[in-house]
Amino acid sequence: MIVAIMAPRSGKTSGVAIPAILAAPGPVLLTSNKAANDAFTATVDARAEVGTVWTLDPQQIAHHPREMWWDILADARDLAGAKRLAGHFVAASVDDSSGSDFWSTAASNTLGALFLAAASHRRPITDVLAWLASPADRTPVDLLTDAGHDAVAAQLQGTVSGATETRDGIYETARQYASCLLDPQVAAWVTPSKDLPEFKPLAFATSRDTLYLLSKDGGGSASAIIAAAADAVMRAAVVVAEQSGGRLDPPALCVLDEAANVCRISDLPDLYSHLGSRGVIPMTILQSYRQGQRCWGEAGMDALWSAATVKIVGSGIDDADFADRLSRQVGDHDVQTVSVSTSESGKSTSVSMRTERILPPDAIRALPKGRVLLLATGLRIAMLSIRPWYKEPSAKVVGPASARATKAITERALAKTVGHDDFGLSA
């Protein structure tokens, strides 16, 4: 279970994510906020040789045609799953600090209830948007009652029939959280389609397929969908592992590149402890420890950090506390000092021992690009040089493949612009 913390442009994707994907023996999941000249283009050809490539690109980062759909409501058929799905939409919009005030909690509960209402009757997620738009619509309350979720139905009814200002505030907040689904081009990726193949997390766990989850950063982006899909895949992998002797073989690799930007699974620290020894390898890649704290809170980030059995810290750590903590973990060593003094009776030499940090905090903050500290359970801390994919012998193949895939993205983007122009002329 891996967590890597390295500054922007320090080789997270090229030196950690891509080599891991190219070496993966089993299924691979990648989250990313970049397509051209990044992990997607560098690995898509190689991965297509071993299995099916699924690309979920709701915001058209890679201008990838919609050739699949994934049922975002599949896991929302029980209350826990519906709440978790709502949590992904909240986490994608707000930082941990503001994630627990009255409005976000109430909006999250309402969203969860609506997801449950839709999922338990196999309604599409677009129904949830319609219910959000008209709080007075009784349909979701009836559907919940029908499905035996009386308590949730009563709670939703309470919200709907409460003071108008409160109700409108809660619904407006919930609408903001779910706003990415308003775009029909986005919602289509997670809505059942008769003509396209369905991505199924359970089948994925025992395949050698690849799932690329691409999204822009920040509020209003489709990152909630990305987080929900990554979460669903990792949970499904654990279920399959438990059914097949405890461990997936070959293991599934789940690379959460830019995790704090596009894959804010709020209970990721918790999930890490479930994934241990299941043959599901999560690799969470962050730009700084603080970025993790903003996303999961201080306690959450500490939990994620301690649950990780392989910790990688690279260059550009601009965080005095974190550097000091690492320095203490690296430990001390004894240094001999020899002092010579001269007096009337002649020269005397004395030897004393001093305890010094092996790697002082300023040395950690000054790690050059390409150097990382490796903290792995059961091993002494090591300093490594990372080997980015473009310096490996296989770059002869991977480089041109990445260039081709990048060119294909540009061509698809251009084709769209041309299409728009034609439309403009004829209109």
What's the min distance (Å) between Cβ of 41 and Mg ion? 12
How many residues make contact with Mg ion (CB under 5 A)? 2
Between 12 and 47, CB nearer to Mg ion: 12
Between 103 and 390, CB nearer to ligand ADP: 390
Between 60 and 402, CB nearer to ligand ADP: 402
> Cβ–Cβ contacts within 10 Å for residue 423, how many?
9
What's the min distance (Å) between Cβ of 255 and ligand ADP? 11
Question: Of Mg ion, ligand ADP, none, which one does residue 292 interact with (CB within 5 to 8 Å by kind)?
Answer: none
The position carrying tokens 């929302």 is 76
Cα torsion 321, 326, 268, 228 to 10°: value is 80
What's the min distance (Å) between Cβ of 207 and ligand ADP? 27
What's the min distance (Å) between Cβ of 227 and Mg ion? 18
In the bound state, the residue with its beta carbon closest to Mg ion is: 13
Question: Of Mg ion, ligand ADP, none, which one does residue 149 interact with (CB within 5 to 8 Å by kind)?
Answer: none
Question: Of Mg ion, ligand ADP, none, which one does residue 6 interact with (CB within 5 to 8 Å by kind)?
Answer: ligand ADP
Rule CB under 5 A: which of 5-44 touch Mg ion?
Answer: 12-13
What's the min distance (Å) between Cβ of 420 and ligand ADP? 30
Between 128 and 312, CB nearer to ligand ADP: 312
Between 79 and 395, CB nearer to ligand ADP: 395
List residues near ligand ADP by CB under 6 A: 6, 8-15, 390
The position carrying tokens 């003094």 is 341
Between 12 and 264, CB nearer to Mg ion: 12
Q: Is the dihedral of CA 119, 232, 58, 264 positive or negative?
A: positive
Question: What residues make contact with Mg ion under the rule CB under 5 A?
Answer: 12-13
